Chain A
Amino acid sequence: MKNFSFMRLSLWFYLAIFFAYLLGPLVIMSVTAFNSPGFPRMTPWECLTFEWFGALFSDERILNGIWNSILVGFGTVILSVSMGLAGALMLTQIWPKLRATYYTVIIAPILIPGVVLGISTLVFWDRINRMLGLGADSFLSNGLFLTIIGQSTFIASYCMLVLVARLQRYDIALTEAALDLGATHAQAFRKVLLPFMKPAIASAAVLAFLASFENYNTTTFTFGEYPTLTIELAQKVRYGITPAISALAFIIVVLTVFAALANEANLRRKELVAKARKEATVEELSSGRIRMPGFLSSNWAAVALVVVACATVVVVGTATVYSPQQCIADVQEQKRLETEERINELRRQRDLRRQQQQEAEQGNAAEPNQSQPTGNNSGFGNVFAPSALSGEEEEASEAEEAPSGNNSGFGNVFDPGSLNSGQDN
């Protein structure tokens, strides 16, 4: 029994490490979006700021990249879902002999490295373009077309896998019945097969859009004059990183969490409704007075969704009334105070040491200790080092003069009270 609980404990420990590795980077990245230093970092925490979101939304290249990504995404969704559907239908009808070869060919793009796909697309369509005698600015060599084509090559394979899974449960007799009843092929396809495939088509489309939106390896060879968001991000990240990218990442993380929770809540609700129907009596069902479960009851995903929504509203609300200028000023003030505090502290220490030395000199006047003053001298270097960081040169030089000139007035100069009054000015 003890062995068992030990295994449980180590399992939970392992799970904790695993999910920390998985989610930790995203959390840390999101947090850096709200910290004010120009380099994205979590420690030291300086001040809550929303200015990076402003910086993000005023960045022309990012906005243009988002627009291009959406364009490419729509093109890819249309092309790859239709090719995936055709490919999946073909898989159910193709000659058994050809089936394995055909399956290998249409599944291969998933395994081919994206770089290779990008290059082959670029090389092939460049050649077609030249064969047709078109110039360098024709639609074939323009980035939009190439990117859509290149991405669709492998995204269609993903769509095909999703669609085939649903198609395997389709009863071909349904189409045959429709044809027997006098429907044309087009009608049977549109009114029988398509409605059955609708959920799978929807999820294939979402998958295709996401895959297109985040693709980098293929797009980096084909984008031409249409740099997508991913390309712009890569350029920015490679040549200097700012928290504005963290801000974008935070927005994407929140949207993703939203979508995932909404989807989960929806699924869960459907399950609960189905369960309620199953448990309802015939009378309740026929009278239509069946008691449906509430939206939030025993649905953790819905609860989490509402919580996230409220948190978003609060954050956005705070951001509109919150003034970054005030915040930055506060941070600078705080930094100044901290530096002064540190100098103050060091001075007090030196003061203490000096006093001790004086006492020692007075006490042991007969045998002067050489080692102690040298130790003190090295300590001086440390004392004045922090002053170089801030605008405290005058005070520092004043302090430098003080010990050499007048030893008796020394204590007053470093009185903490005098410094505090100086700060108030």
Chain B
Amino acid sequence: MPRFLKEFFTRNGVGIGSLMLGLVLFWTIGLIILPQLSMLDFSFRPNLPPPEVGGPKDVYTLENYKYLIFGPEGGGQAFNAVDLKVFFRTLVAAVCVTVFNLILCYPIAYYLAQSKGNHIRIFALMLIIPYWINEILRAFALRIIFGETGVLNTLLVGSGVFDTPFDFIRNDIALYAGLGYAYILLMIFPIYNVIESLDRNQIEAARDMGASWPMIHRRVVIPYAKPGISSGCTMVFMLSAGALAAPQILGGPSSLWFTQLIYQQFNDNSDWPQGAAYAVVLLVTCILLVLAIMRLFKVNMGDIGK
């Protein structure tokens, strides 16, 4: 038995120690690492009926990835324009949602973190309550509001801004509002946590030196809050790029989200390897994008999740 294992068992006792070790190994290897590797492996295989799995036809192939870029063979098109367009639209829209959330939440987080009093607790409660409501129900609530005969259209037509009801769903406004709505809390809390630990004296000092409010934020608060901001942005970006419920409920009939393509491959086409390949592409692209942006803003991976 290796020395560190022996130390571990003398420290925790054999019973508790092996239980702990077993649970951790099951979680990290059995639930996190192996399934991801299995999905990666699966995405390189052709779609075969169950009896042929493991047979001579079950070889590694790039077919599924080729399909995303070039489309079906002999399809007559140079590229798989439909799927690629959905893919890039999803990424761009997720970035837009993230930026929108950051702009919306930064002032609130700053205000909540820097002021004291009883009303702050009420605000915190009001922030948390919507987050406890089911994701589907939140999307449903927005659908009631943005629908053709919904509250917003009634108001706008009633007040004479529009003559005819505006189709928020077909124009994807409902979708973006829904995605932004769903992840507000994940943006506010990391920023709030960081700014709360900022010494108010630093801001006072900057003011005494004659800095204007935008200057204080640019030079003092934002550099200090960078870990929180990057943590919030990473979470919101990853979750909105991987969102499935909001696009299904609030998305227009003609516009798809990339996760919906994955869902279709699994449930409608029963082409699991193809769906796995798309999932791998989504995961890898998101991770690379997040890492690139973190390098650009010089933030460490260790700051995430704090």
Please give the residue numbers on chain A whose beta carbons come within 8 Å of chain B beta carbons, in ascending order: 11, 14-15, 18-19, 21-26, 28-29, 32, 39-43, 82-83, 86-87, 89-90, 93, 95, 100, 102-117, 119-121, 123-125, 127, 130, 149, 152-153, 156, 161, 184-186, 188-189, 210, 213-214, 216-217, 220-221, 229-230, 233-234, 237-238, 241, 245-246, 248-249, 252-253, 256-257, 259-261, 264, 300
Contacts and interface: CB of A to CB of B under 8 A. Distances in A.
A114 B276 contact: no
B140 A113 contact: no
Given A115-B263, A123-B276, A25 B244 contact: no
Given A43-B154, A184-B13, A217-B242, A237 B104 contact: no
19 contacts: A22-B130, A26-B138, A39-B149, A89-B12, A102-B28, A113-B259, A113-B283, A115-B242, A115-B263, A119-B262, A123-B39, A123-B42, A189-B16, A217-B242, A238-B248, A241-B144, A252-B134, A256-B133, A260-B132
A107 B234 CA distance: 13
A153 B27 CA distance: 7
Contact of A106 (B27, B50, B137, B245): B27
Contacts of A39: 149
Q: Which 3 A-B pairs have the closest CB atoms?
A: A185-B13, A113-B242, A25-B141
Interface of B: 4, 8, 11-17, 19-21, 23-24, 26-28, 31-36, 38-39, 42, 50, 53, 104, 107-108, 111, 118, 121-123, 125-130, 132-145, 147, 149-151, 154, 181, 184, 234-235, 238-239, 241-245, 248-249, 259, 262-263, 266, 272, 275-276, 279, 282-283, 286-287, 290, 301-302, 304-305
Contact of B16 (A103, A104, A186, A241): A186
A260 B129 contact: yes
A107 B304 contact: yes
B68 to A, nearest CB: 15
B133 to A, nearest CB: 6
B142 A25 contact: yes
Contact of A217 (B34, B108, B134, B244): B244
B132 A210 contact: yes
B243 to A, nearest CB: 7
B19 A86 contact: yes
B191 to A, nearest CB: 14
B232 to A, nearest CB: 12
A254 B38 CA distance: 43
Contacts of A153: 27, 31-32, 35
Contacts of B133: 26, 214, 249, 252-253, 256
Given A32-B144, A233-B137, A216 B244 contact: yes
Nearest to A107: B305
B184 to A, nearest CB: 7
A86 B39 CA distance: 26
B245 A217 contact: yes
Given A115-B259, A116-B39, A119-B279, A241 B20 contact: no
A298 to B, nearest CB: 10
B137 A28 contact: no
Given A90-B24, A216-B244, A119 B276 contact: yes
Q: Which of A24, A25, A108 has the most CB of B within 10 A?
A: A25
A233 B136 contact: yes
Contacts of B15: 185-186
A249 B143 CA distance: 14
Contact of B111 (A15, A102, A111): A15
B181 A23 contact: no
B32 A109 contact: yes
A86 B184 CA distance: 31
B259 A237 contact: no
A185 B137 contact: no
A82 B262 CA distance: 32
Contacts of B53: 130
B38 A124 contact: yes
Q: Which of B13, B39, B132, B136 has the most CB of A within 10 A?
A: B136
B238 to A, nearest CB: 5
Nearest to B241: A113
Contacts of A123: 35, 38-39, 42, 272, 276
Contacts of A109: 32
Nearest to B248: A238
Given A233-B136, A241-B140, A260-B125, 7 more contacts: A18-B108, A83-B23, A103-B302, A130-B50, A156-B31, A216-B245, A238-B248
A213 B134 contact: yes
A155 to B, nearest CB: 11
A108 B32 contact: yes
Contact of B137 (A112, A113, A245): A245
A124 B139 contact: no
A22 B4 contact: no
B137 A120 contact: no
A343 to B, nearest CB: 23
B35 A113 contact: no
B228 to A, nearest CB: 15
B153 to A, nearest CB: 10
Contacts of A32: 144
Given A113-B259, A185-B13, A249-B133, A22 B31 contact: no
Q: Which of A83, A119, A124, A149 has the most CB of B within 10 A?
A: A119
Contact of B302 (A100, A105, A252, A260): A100
Nearest to A102: B28
Given A83-B26, A105-B28, A120-B35, A234 B248 contact: yes
A358 B17 CA distance: 103
B248 A29 contact: no
B27 A249 contact: no
Contacts of A82: 23
B253 to A, nearest CB: 12
Contacts of B245: 216-217, 234
A113 B130 CA distance: 21
Given A86-B23, A119-B276, A18 B104 contact: yes
Nearest to A255: B132
A237 B144 contact: no
Given A41-B144, A41-B150, A220 B242 contact: no
B183 to A, nearest CB: 12
A217 B249 CA distance: 13
A344 B296 CA distance: 71
Given A245-B137, A249-B140, A116 B42 contact: no
